Amino acid sequence: MKHTIFHIDVNSAYLSWEATYRINTQVSCIDLRTIPSIIGGDESKRHGIVLAKSIPAKKYGIKTGESLFSARQKCPSLVIVPPNYKLFMQCSNAMVDIFKEYFPLVERYSVDECFLDYTNMSHHFGSPISFAHHLKDKIQKELGFTVNIGISNNKLLAKMASDFEKPNKIHTLFPNEIQEKMWPLPVRDLFMVGRASNAKLIKLGIYTIGELANSDPELLYAHFKSHGYLIHAYANGIATSIVKPCSPEAKGIGNSTTISFDVTDSRTAKLILLSLTETVCMRLRDSDMIAKMVSVSIKSHDFISLSHQMQLTESTDITNDIYKAICTLFDEAWNKEPIRHLGIRVSSLSSKTNTQLSLFDFDKHEKYTALDESIDKIRLRYGNTSIIRASFLHSGLRPLNGGMPEENYPIMSSLL
DNA sequence: TCTGGGGTCCTAGGACCC
DNA sequence: TCTGGGGTCCTAGGACCC
């Protein structure tokens, strides 16, 4: 059966959302989307990269991911605004709520992208193109920002289509349009061809998606292993993934941070690791999961990364137990190079309910579980900084680091 | 590169077993 | 030790996405 799939992509999401917010709250009468502007981090904290850009900023050659320093060199009058992730989540939720008015099934691919399955909906809502216009215009009218919508028979082609001309546009990329609309594009534009694959393909003399589509899959396998078969199929518009009812359960939970200075002593490093462990464990408990695998990653002053991982003897969600493992891993892994970035991650997750506990650890387990529970409650009620570990006092370091469990933000319409 | 933070998946190589 | 051939599991690193 032929499916009809939509891919919705918010145009310059972070920037559009901030612009919409500023207009609606009269913070400023200037629409950020109409001037060279970007959403970016704080250079003094070494978080200085471009997260999103306006179309006028793009005209200066500014790219997502580049340093603020180089962006400002390209455009000295550039307006730089810090990210407001709570706002972004509200805007994303508001958009998903609109989709749910029509679609029983919304796949949230990222904060600013969704897949929808329009198969068999034409007799209710009209042709895919006319309904896509209705959807796009409704979002703009009710929420104030624009989206691109890509339409095809599978997710890959719908996603490629939404990436064509922007903003506020609807494109189709049905199989009979592949040759004309997709094959002339540079191979780098294909989903799953990143920097490394692009460089290797260029060396093989493959420059366009069409050339990739028509190259020998065995040659690709020789250079890319299974990834070669994947990008060959994608270049031919072949993909089998279906729109999923909801996001599958997470495989792991991690937080990481770039530190505003180079860390050269293990005491400071471990305090930062503790601040990351606190937030990761809060998220873990929030999701009612326990973890068996723990890993630490370190990025040095000269951008060399290393990682180290271990299995715990038993799955847990106890901050103290996970932190102990983190410290062991750090001591084993650190080569004394100055540290720029630290990360921790837990994985091999299982559901907390109906898990057996060894009798041996029962008392200790009870004690720490009760402790974590109380701390989580106090933080939920009085704020995340209301209770912190004594070791952070006078340290000048943040006691919690990285994303927190999702709070219940008011939906956007009530905010505007 | 004055180069973020959250993820997923794949693979090479080593340990270990028979 | 002038040492075979599978299989499985684990780890570190790297690729990709937003």
Q: Is residue A223 part of a domain?
A: yes
Please report which confidence band the pLDDT of residue A388 belongs to, taking 50, 70 and 90 as the band edges: confident
SS3 at position A388:
coil
Judge whether A109 and A248 are in contact, CB under 8 Å. Answer: no
Say if residue A133 is in the same domain as residue A206. no
Separation of alpha carbons A344 and A291, rounded Å = 13
Average pLDDT over residues A319-347: 97
Residue nearest to nucleotide B3 (CA to C1'): A67
* Owning domain of residue A27: 1-85+124-171
Please report which confidence band the pLDDT of residue A311 belongs to, taking 50, 70 and 90 as the band edges: very high
Highest mean pLDDT, choosing among A192-201, A345-354, A386-395:
A192-201
Q: Strand A170-172 vs strand A305-316: parallel, antiparallel, or unpaired?
A: unpaired
CATH number of the domain within which A379 lies: 3.30.1490.100
Q: Which of A43, A66, A113, A177 is catalytic?
A: A113
Q: Is residue A166 part of a domain?
A: yes
Say if residue A261 is in the same domain as residue A166. no
Say if residue A145 is in the same domain as residue A211. no
Q: CB count, 10 Å around CB of A168?
A: 15
- Annotate A296-356 with DSSP letters as a single string: EEEEETTS-EEEEEEEEEEEE--HHHHHHHHHHHHHHH--SPPEEEEEEEEEEEEESTT--
Say if residue A209 is in the same domain as residue A352. no
Q: Is residue A34 part of a domain?
A: yes
Predicted local confidence at residue A356, as pLDDT: 58
Judged against a pLDDT cut of 90, whether residue A29 lies above it is answered with no
- Annotate A28-40 with DSSP letters as a single string: -SS-GGGSSEEEE
Predicted local confidence at residue A232, as pLDDT: 98
Q: Which helix (H) or strand (E) holds A172?
A: strand A170-172
Of chain A, the percentage scoring pLDDT greater than 70 comes to 95
b/e map A308-327, b = 16+ CB within 10 Å: bbeebeebbbbbebbbebbb
Q: Is A43 considered catalytic here?
A: no
Question: Any atom of strand C under 7 A from CB of A194?
Answer: yes
Q: Is residue A360 part of a domain?
A: yes
Q: Which of A85, A86, A92 is nearest to A110 (CA)?
A: A92
Predicted local confidence at residue A416, as pLDDT: 42
Q: Is residue A230 part of a domain?
A: yes
Q: Is residue A81 part of a domain?
A: yes
- Annotate A259-277 with DSSP letters as a single string: EEEEE-SHHHHHHHHHHHH
Question: Any atom of strand B under 7 A from CB of A253?
Answer: yes
Say if residue A140 is in the same domain as residue A45. yes
Average pLDDT over residues A248-266: 95
The rounded Cα A62 to chain-centroid distance in angstroms is 21
Question: Any atom of strand C under 7 A from CB of A385?
Answer: no
CATH number of the domain within which A56 lies: 3.40.1170.60
Q: Is residue A412 part of a domain?
A: no
Last residue of a domain, one of A171, A205, A227: A171
Lowest mean pLDDT among A143-157, A194-208, A373-387: A373-387
Separation of alpha carbons A211 and A298, rounded Å = 39
Question: Any atom of strand B under 7 A from CB of A69?
Answer: yes
Say if residue A256 is in the same domain as residue A338. yes
Å from the A101 CA to the C8 C1': 49
What's the structural domain count of chain A?
3
Say if residue A71 is in the same domain as residue A152. yes
Question: Any atom of strand C under 7 A from CB of A79?
Answer: no
Say if residue A134 is in the same domain as residue A193. no
